[in-house]
Structure 1
Amino acid sequence: MSKPLKQIHLAAHFPGVNNTTVWSDPAAGSHIEFSSFVHFARTAERAKFDFLFLAEGLRLREQGGTVYDLDVVGRPDTFTVLAALAAVTDRLGLTGTINSTFNEPYEVARQFASLDHLSGGRSAWNVVTSWDAFTGENFRRGGFLPQEERYSRAREFLATAHELFDSWRGDEILADRATGTFLRDARAGAFVHRGQHFDIHGRFDVPRSPQGRPVIFQAGDSEEGRDFAASDADAIFSRHSTLKEGQAFYTDVKSRLATYGRRPDQLLILPAATFVLGDTDQEAAELAREVRRQQVSGATAIKHLEFVWNRDLSAYDPEGPLPDVDPVVSEEHISRGRAQVRMYRDPVAVAREWRQLAEANKWSIRDLVINTGNRQTFVGSPATVARDINDFVQADAADGFILVPHITPGGLDPFADQVVPLLQERGVFRTDYEGTTLRDHLGLAHPGHRPDRRTAGSAERAAS
């Protein structure tokens, strides 16, 4: 008997401000005007995607002591954008990246519970930590947390938020539509938490939301991050986009779930993925090469090399050879506010490897950055891309993808119009939403009892 086809999960990542985006394209639009967010979200909803995903930037990036001017446009507040999008969409999930290192559980839990009510049960929280003391300078607490302490705080942060969400049980809410002020049980919303990182008590003032709790995402790839996802997350945002790497990551993370009393289907693996479409595979490949050259200008290539070399390389020609000097290994780094800095644990070894690659392939600095950086995940005609995505998911290398187009805000449109119908024809992607909440879209169980009576503060009451 053949194995049943897995249903593919698809989401859309609003590109924000980074070198993935091709600003020079005439079709490129604003990254901060609300009309861009609306266009992007409505395209994703028209295509029946599970959710829209927003990343987070808490400080402008700097390089060499000045603002990094190649990808800084600004990034609006996550909750403000998602709350506004809740009013112009009906079914699309709304996922926000919120930092557990610099925020407080009560505040974040209250914001997500409110968003879940406003959206009728479509909120999700991508829980991240921050190693970056530079970013922390923007916050009262500031400072630096070692990796183990960051994850310890994140675990307790999430557990505390869950205590707040769960402090309202379904049978404690009196359905008084006239006032919304009466409680069946005086304990409703009461909480006490005393732990290593948080010592709080009081009363949570947002009733149980339509999903009970927001869907929880996690994005770490370290051992601590994988365990955190296996123990507490509903989905993990992965960077592994090749079949072999994807299968290894998928198997590893899913195998950890049993340790925490969970089944493999209780955690979804969703890698980020880029795409380039053409009428033919050859046309798409040619376009992909041009897109990469637009994404990596000469100035961008030099800046990228400085991440590794940790020294000013502005005097070097991006179309010339790599520097023959070694990187500067120091706790002080030329780049601040970039997670990329942490990717190169041994910069001297990386520089040696890159010089060998450049020499063997006769690559300039720019050529090297283009060929060693993140390239498009799916390239081809719509039929080829639909086939490749389906093959990837059916081979248990992922449960779906979070798509990152290179044009804002219209870059998702060709995928929605040309690839999604082919996935629907294959029977591996929905033709319409079957439920109303993000948990429905993702096939996730509702955490705990929810009454049939309409709760005070519900989405329907707000809309009436």
Structure 2
Amino acid sequence: MTAERRQVHLAAHFPGVNSTTVWSDPTAQSQVEFSSFEHFARTAERGFFDYLFLAEGLRLREHRGEIHDLDVVGRPNTLGILAAVAAVTRHIGVVGTLSSTFNEPAELARQLATLDHLSGGRAGWNVVTSSDAFHGGNFRRGGFLPHPERYERASEFVALAKKLWDSWDDDAVLGDAAAGEFLRAGAVHDVRHRGKHFDVDARSTVPRSPQGRPIIVQAGDSPDGRDFAAEHAEVIFSRHAEFDDGRRFYSDVKGRLAGRGRSEDSLLILPAVSFVLGDSPADAEEKAREISLQQISKPTAITFLEQVWNRDLSAYDADGPLPEVDPDPGEQITRGWARAFEENQAKIAAWRAKADAEKLSIRQLVIAVANRHGFVGTAAHVASEIDRYVQNRASDGFVVVGHLTPHGLDEFADAVIPELQERGVYRTEYAEGATLRENLGLPAPHRLTDQIGATA
């Protein structure tokens, strides 16, 4: 008997303020105007994607005392955008990046539960941590949290949010004076929590959401991050987009689930991947080369190196060899990226070896290490590669990253999606009324009602 083919899951990453996005293209549009988000969301929904994904920046990054070039387009609020997108779509999920360091559990849980209700059960939260004082400068705590404690706080944060989401009974009657209906006693339970990072006595103001809880997404890759994912995450936004590396990561993280009483199908792993399509392999490769040169201009290549070397490299030619000087261990000239001096030293050594072996200039090296396109080829080839990864458990699908705002997904939806459907590994329609959890094929969340009144 032939085994049933595994289905591909896809998420759509809105092009953000990073080196992947091309702003010099004549078709590039605003990062702030709603028309950009609307077009992108409608395209993703037309392509039957599981969800739209937004990154978030809490502060404009700085480089050598000035706002970083890519941040001048703006960093609007994630929840506001997702609520607006939910209003102009019917099926696609809306997932946003929100920090567990500079937010409070009761308020963020309330905001996400509200979004889940407004969207009909389509909300998700990409849990990230923020430990540096630069981002913390926007908050009264500053850089209050030592780096080693970031996942400790995040785990306690998410556990408390789950208790709040579970604190309403499924059959609670909402108050409606006109209809003579009122909330029954005992339908909502107080949440009392005493932990290292939070001391909370709360009563959720929002009933249990349509999908039980918003979907939890996570992107950490450290041992602590992988443990956090095995404990709490339902989707991992992975950086392991190479086939063999992806299989190792997939096996490692999925192997941690059984020890936490979870099944393999309770967690999806979706690496981020860019793409370039062409009428032939040669055409796609030429397009990929042109796009890479747009993404990494000469000034961008030098700026990228300066972030790692932590020194002014403006005197160097981007078409010349790597600087011979060592990184500066002093105060960071780039604010908004957290990199240890030792990490930069190791990275520079690896880059020098690569540049020497392949005779690469500064610009060529930056393109090779920072902007390698994941899938390059015809639509049929890209679909075949996506299918190969999923069937061989190198991933459960992908977070697709285009290079144009807001049209970066158009070609993928028009050309690659039909190829996946032809292979029988991708939906041809959404199930009417399905929640994001149902579209992802994730099990219903295990309720924590028996733990709600307990002190942590």
Shorter-chain TM-score bucket reads: over 0.9
Distance in 2 separating the partners of 1:211 and 1:175: 21
Distance in 1 separating the partners of 2:272 and 2:179: 45
Determine what percentage of the aligned residue pairs are the same residue: 61
Compute the displacement of 1:153 (Å): 0.6
CA shift in 2, pair 1:170/1:337, >3 Å? same
Which residue of the partner structure matches residue 80 of structure 1?
80
Which residue of the partner structure matches residue 336 of structure 2?
337
SS across alignment from 1:271: strand
CA shift in 2, pair 1:216/1:177, >3 Å? farther
- In the superposition, the TM-score normalised over structure 1's length comes to 0.93
Unpaired runs of at least 5, structure 2: 448-456
Residue-by-residue CA offset, 1:208-236 (whole Å, 9 max, x unaligned): 11111101111100001101111111111
Whether the aligned pair in 2 keeps the contact of 1:15 and 1:404 (CA below 8 Å) is yes
Whether the aligned pair in 2 keeps the contact of 1:173 and 1:207 (CA below 8 Å) is no
Which residue of the partner structure matches residue 49 of structure 2?
49
Whether the aligned pair in 2 keeps the contact of 1:19 and 1:71 (CA below 8 Å) is no
Matches within 5 A, 1:202-221: 202-221=202-221
Whether the aligned pair in 1 keeps the contact of 2:192 and 2:200 (CA below 8 Å) is yes
Which residue of the partner structure matches residue 69 of structure 1?
69
Whether the aligned pair in 2 keeps the contact of 1:309 and 1:347 (CA below 8 Å) is yes
Distance in 2 separating the partners of 1:350 and 1:444: 38
Which residue of the partner structure matches residue 390 of structure 2?
393
Which residue of the partner structure matches residue 247 of structure 2?
247
Whether the aligned pair in 1 keeps the contact of 2:235 and 2:269 (CA below 8 Å) is yes
Distance in 2 separating the partners of 1:378 and 1:191: 47
1:376 counterpart letter in structure 2: H
Question: For structure 1, which segment, 259-268 or 355-364, has the greater mean C-alpha deviation from structure 2 after superposition?
Answer: 355-364
Instruction: Give the counterpart of 1:358 among 350, 355, 359.
Output: 355
Instruction: Give the counterpart of 2:437 among 432, 436, 439.
Output: 439
Compute the displacement of 1:422 (Å): 0.8
SS across alignment from 2:323: coil
Compute the displacement of 1:175 (Å): 7.2
Compute the displacement of 1:354 (Å): 2.5
1:268 counterpart letter in structure 2: L
Query: For this pair of structures, how many residues does the alignment match?
Result: 446
Distance in 1 separating the partners of 2:328 and 2:174: 64
Distance in 2 separating the partners of 1:62 and 1:88: 35
Residue-by-residue CA offset, 1:248-278 (whole Å, 9 max, x unaligned): 0000000000110001110000101100011
Distance in 1 separating the partners of 2:121 and 2:220: 25
Residue-by-residue CA offset, 1:86-135 (whole Å, 9 max, x unaligned): 11000000001110000000110010010011000000011111122210
Which residue of the partner structure matches residue 197 of structure 1?
197
Compute the displacement of 1:333 (Å): 1.3
SS across alignment from 1:274: strand
1:338 counterpart letter in structure 2: W
Whether the aligned pair in 2 keeps the contact of 1:171 and 1:184 (CA below 8 Å) is no
Which residue of the partner structure matches residue 116 of structure 1?
116
Residue-by-residue CA offset, 1:142-201 (whole Å, 9 max, x unaligned): 214233311111011011111111111113335748469711124614221111111111
Whether the aligned pair in 1 keeps the contact of 2:318 and 2:363 (CA below 8 Å) is yes
1:439 counterpart letter in structure 2: R
Q: Give the superposed CA RMSD.
A: 1.7
SS across alignment from 1:201: strand
Question: For structure 1, which segment, 404-413 or 170-179, has the greater mean C-alpha deviation from structure 2 after superposition?
Answer: 170-179
SS across alignment from 1:346: helix
Compute the displacement of 1:56 (Å): 0.8
Residue-by-residue CA offset, 1:44-77 (whole Å, 9 max, x unaligned): 0011110000011000001122211244311111
SS across alignment from 1:213: coil
Distance in 2 separating the partners of 1:73 and 1:335: 18
CA shift in 2, pair 1:198/1:349, >3 Å? closer
1:442 counterpart letter in structure 2: L
CA shift in 2, pair 1:79/1:366, >3 Å? same
Which residue of the partner structure matches residue 407 of structure 1?
404
CA shift in 2, pair 1:346/1:171, >3 Å? closer
SS across alignment from 1:172: coil
Which residue of the partner structure matches residue 348 of structure 1?
345
Whether the aligned pair in 1 keeps the contact of 2:173 and 2:181 (CA below 8 Å) is no
Distance in 2 separating the partners of 1:318 and 1:21: 20
Distance in 1 separating the partners of 2:108 and 2:206: 12
Residue-by-residue CA offset, 1:326-349 (whole Å, 9 max, x unaligned): 11124x21111025x35x743334
Whether the aligned pair in 2 keeps the contact of 1:309 and 1:328 (CA below 8 Å) is yes
Distance in 2 separating the partners of 1:201 and 1:160: 11
Instruction: Give the counterpart of 1:427 among 424, 427, 441.
Output: 424
Distance in 2 separating the partners of 1:168 and 1:379: 48
Whether the aligned pair in 2 keeps the contact of 1:172 and 1:185 (CA below 8 Å) is no
Which residue of the partner structure matches residue 158 of structure 2?
158
Question: For structure 1, which segment, 76-85 or 188-197, has the greater mean C-alpha deviation from structure 2 after superposition?
Answer: 188-197
Question: For structure 1, which segment, 194-203 or 347-356, has the greater mean C-alpha deviation from structure 2 after superposition?
Answer: 347-356
Matches within 5 A, 1:27-38: 27-38=27-38
Whether the aligned pair in 1 keeps the contact of 2:169 and 2:187 (CA below 8 Å) is no
Which residue of the partner structure matches residue 455 of structure 1?
none
Superposed structure 1 runs of 4+ greater than 6 Å apart: none
Which residue of the partner structure matches residue 134 of structure 1?
134
Compute the displacement of 1:361 (Å): 2.9
Whether the aligned pair in 1 keeps the contact of 2:275 and 2:402 (CA below 8 Å) is yes
Which residue of the partner structure matches residue 269 of structure 2?
269
SS across alignment from 1:285: helix
Which residue of the partner structure matches residue 287 of structure 1?
287
Distance in 2 separating the partners of 1:356 and 1:424: 43
Compute the displacement of 1:448 (Å): 5.5
Which residue of the partner structure matches residue 454 of structure 2?
none
- In the superposition, the TM-score normalised over structure 2's length comes to 0.94
Distance in 2 separating the partners of 1:180 and 1:107: 30
SS across alignment from 2:101: coil
Distance in 2 separating the partners of 1:35 and 1:277: 25
Which residue of the partner structure matches residue 373 of structure 1?
370
1:149 counterpart letter in structure 2: E
